[in-house]
Amino acid sequence: MIDPERRARLFDEFAQTGSEAARNAIVEDHLGLAEFFARRYRNRGVSDDDLRQVSRLALVQAVDRFDPGHGVEFSTFAGRTIDGSLKRHFRDTAWAVRVPRSLQELAVAVRRASAELSLELGRAPTVDELAEATGRDADLVIEALSADQAYRADSLDQPDDAGAPRAGAASVDPGFERSETRLVLREMMNAMPERERRILELRFDEELSQGEIAERVGLSQMHVSRLLRRCFEQMRAELEA
């Protein structure tokens, strides 16, 4: 651990000269901070090596961006930078099952609309209200809500076993936050009857549209839509139980 006076000199040197040696010394002095934040996010579906890499890269970025003149301790500034990078990493990569990109994007739009409508209405919006707000069909909104469950089904906002707050992740429904593992939806899919499981696999794994699924399984698109809706409602009910 570098003493405070030497640390201050290193920051001055890096600010004035861009010294690579000073930068490396500052980074090495704070590797424990990066490790601390990486440990906070363990056991949530992302490898420890990935967490360390994200944390250390964020630490380097914090050194590059830090301005001692702002009156904030570097450890505080770096901690916020590392934590924010880890949250973004989870938001970008931690979907529990493979979800079509279009559904991921719609899920984001639905979350945003849900937050805005909740403030406006003073209550949670209905599916029809979300459909109107996003300009999408109600069945697609239900699919997006269910896809959102696949996004780290266990809420990162809830405290972990040690009582430390987890990373923030927006969620449409509080029931989505009670799942224990990121594989829970896959387990639910596997427990479905063979026809429903096949339809879900075609939707999520092969990214087929409802019309394409209908052709593949020999049903009408309306029938496929009803089956998907029933599956999604069952999955939500199990998560909220």
Rounded to two decimals, the pTM is: 0.43
**pLDDT computed for residue 241 by the predictor:** 52
Query: What average pLDDT does this structure show over 154-171?
Result: 37
Residue with the bigger pLDDT between 100 and 116: it is 116
Counting Cα atoms < 13 Å in the Cβ hemisphere of 127 gives 12
User: For the ranges 84-98, 107-121, 153-167, which has the lowest average pLDDT?
Assistant: 153-167
Percent of the chain with pLDDT over 70: 74
What lies within 8 Å, CB to CB, of 84 at 6+ separation is: 58
Reported as a pLDDT band with limits 50, 70 and 90, residue 1 is low
From the number of C-beta atoms within 10 Å of its C-beta (0-12, 13-18, 19+), residue 33 rates as: middle
169-219 confidence digits (pLDDT tens):
333 333 333 333 344 566 677 778 899 989 988 887 777 888 899 999 999
Considering the four listed CATH numbers 3.30.390.50, 3.40.50.300, 3.40.640.10, 1.10.10.10, the one that applies to the domain covering 101-240 is: 1.10.10.10
Question: Selecting from 3.30.1360.120, 3.30.56.10, 1.20.120.1810, 3.40.50.300, what CATH number does the domain 4-93 have?
Answer: 1.20.120.1810
